[in-house]
Amino acid sequence: MAQETFAFSSSALRSLRLQRELLEQEDRRRALARPSAPRRVLPGTPRAPPSPPRRRQFCRDPAVHNALYAGDLPRVQNIFRDEASANLVLEMVSEELVWSPEQGLWVLSPRRQHTSALRIAAARGYEDCARHLLLRGAAVDAVVGGRAPLHDSAAAPHPNCARLLLAFGADPNVLSSDGSAPLHLCTAPHSLRCAELLLAHGAQVNLGTRDRQVTALHVAARHGLVAHVELYLHHGADPSQRTHQGETPLNAAAAAAERPEDAERFLLVAERLLAAGADPGAAGRKGHTPLHNACANGHPALARLLLRHGADAAVPNSAGDTPMDCALHAVLEYREQRPEEILALLLDHGALPARPKMLRLCCQHPPALEVMLNAYDRVPPTDGWVEAVPPELWEEHQEFYASAVRMAGRPRRLQHLARVAIRRHLGTRCHAAVPKLALPPPLRRYLQLPIEGLIS
């Protein structure tokens, strides 16, 4: 396929040539003004003020930008011939809508963005263009427009350009204007090679972002990147390191596991973190533990994993909500993910039955409502949830809803009362002790709150 190219204007060459001549004149003037030998400075003599830094040269010619964005090596070689041109700041102006309080309406306002030629080449994987710029003196760690070239190659990701920049001495821990290192920008599965290169060249695996102290392990956990998590742990990443908000990588993974299609990836991440010593009960932002987040995201496998590692099923967060409260709020959204399993898990690990007014949250999913009603020794009054059941759902599950209404406020069967008493006695040991009881299998199953479709 032929490479896409753009017409290059002669005005761009004239503009760059003029800028280069001005820079050369300034260099000659400074050289003439500089003394040939250092003067002896007597004690107490005030020092001369330092010479002002060289002003950045800006280029706004679209033809120059287009040559870089297209990766047109011959034109890039023709334009960027020396250090001055290789370090030009490329300025682009775009129009964006902003609110004008004076006019009371949205108006178009110019928005200026700055970048460098090396940043553009690195972000698009144009290795030959990047090499030419580096050989012409492009500053490998220059932060222009908020980022250095290594940030762009890692974020893209383009391992070929990352390798080239590192070979030319790029700092693997260079910070962007927002305080992020290149390793923090490895957020896609195919950025693993970039992460490996950065670590091999001295990237600090536990380096936190400047303001929030987010580490690369937090980033990988939040994006469900199993291979990245394994890589960072192998290089000494600390699974207990917290952000300024108190989040651990395990908190980040549990909070991000929102989509059912991503459940398996985040489960694997959590397994790796827990195996490395992560605290399953670490309370992060707003006092949420990983179990709170797993329950709020309707993730029964993750909840089971956390509980197996000792997470507290009854701990409240800063707002006083328990994992059970979070699980009930998620029933409708995650009804296809069998939320009744999470409710039963929590009850098996010592969680108390929800307040009767919370039954309104699960009444439109009969299996979840059945689990909750069977956690009481007596069915609570139904006036808090009956009116929330849609007529068509009531008709579909009429036998179950009718049995729940019929048993409200009435004594349950002796068998059920015995079940409640045994489960209360076992408490947090219920999940482990019930399967070991010397009882017939049907009775052991009955103790585990099976779904029967009736309340009796």
Instruction: Note whether residue 69 is domain-resident.
Output: yes
**What are the pLDDT tens digits along the chain (456 aa)?**
333 333 445 555 555 555 555 556 555 555 555 544 444 444 444 444 544 445 567 888 888 999 999 999 999 999 999 999 999 999 987 666 777 787 777 776 767 889 999 999 999 999 999 999 999 999 999 999 999 999 999 999 999 999 999 999 999 999 999 999 999 999 999 999 999 999 999 999 999 999 999 999 999 999 999 999 999 999 999 999 999 999 999 999 999 999 999 999 999 999 999 999 999 999 998 999 999 999 999 999 999 999 999 999 999 999 999 999 999 999 999 999 999 999 999 999 999 998 999 999 999 999 999 999 999 999 999 988 999 999 999 999 999 999 999 999 888 999 999 999 999 999 999 999 999 999 999 999 999 999 999 998
Structural domain range at position 165 = 1-23+56-96+106-172
Q: What is the dihedral of CA 247, 252, 255, 259, to 10 degrees?
A: 170
Residue 310 maps to a domain:
no
CATH number at residue 153: 1.25.40.20
Q: Within 10 Å of residue 35's Cβ, how many Cβ atoms?
A: 6
Q: Which pTM does this prediction carry?
A: 0.83
| pLDDT score for 301 | 97
Residue 129 belongs to a domain: yes
**Does residue 6 lie in a domain region?**
yes
**Residue 53: its pLDDT value, please?**
46
Q: How many CB atoms lie within 10 A of CB 128?
A: 14
Residue 239 lies in a domain: no
Contacts for 335 with CB less than 8 Å, ≥ 6 apart: 364, 365, 368
Q: What is the pLDDT of residue 16?
A: 55
Question: Residue 158 falls within a domain, yes or no?
Answer: yes
Using CB atoms within 10 Å of the CB of residue 84, give its burial: 0 to 12 exposed, 13 to 18 middle, 19+ buried.
Answer: buried
Is residue 124 situated within a structural domain?
yes
Q: How far apart are CA 453 and CA 210, in angstroms?
A: 55
Dihedrals phi, psi of 353, to nearest 5 degrees: -60, 145
Tell me, yes or no, whether 3 lies in a domain.
Answer: yes
Q: How many structural domains compose the chain?
A: 1
